[in-house]
Amino acid sequence: PKIADYFNITVSPSELYDYFMNMTRANMKYRKENNIHRNDYFKLLLSLKEQEDKGEITPHVATSVHEDDAVIDQMNYTEEDEKSIDTSEKWFTDESIAANTVIFLTAGSESVNHFSD
């Protein structure tokens, strides 16, 4: 991603990005203003965002070494790595919610298209 940013390379047209971002923000605003609660994927993402904003959840950081990990020697420096992780970084931004929604819709439409052939 940093190289793509440096060279200003995008995967999709800006119109597509703007469309999904506007749709996501409009949906978030509409649900909040009208106090709409549905048991769906979008509500799950919104709940996670609210919990993160309140500080109720933080990114998962490995805290212990499992004996199987010692075999492949990957977790020897876990404690040092924990100190370098920035837990103040937000994971559930409007952009990440829009991205997850697009992935969810794309995956769902792929399975439906497959069965309609």
For 91, which DSSP code? S
pLDDT tens, per residue, the chain with 117 residues: 678 778 888 877 889 989 999 999 999 999 999 999 999 999 999 999 999 888 887 655 555 555 565 555 555 555 555 555 555 678 889 999 999 999 988 887 766 666 555
Question: In angstroms, rounded to a whole number, what is the distance separating the alpha carbons of residues 42 and 48?
Answer: 10
The helix (H) or strand (E) run that includes residue 59 is none
Per-residue confidence (pLDDT) for residue 33, from 0 to 100: 96
Half-sphere exposure of 106 (CA within 13 A, CB side): 7
The residue with tokens 């929604």 is 101
User: Contact at 8 Å (CB) between 75 and 62?
Assistant: yes
Q: Return the closest-CA partner of residue 87 out of 49, 57, 48.
A: 57
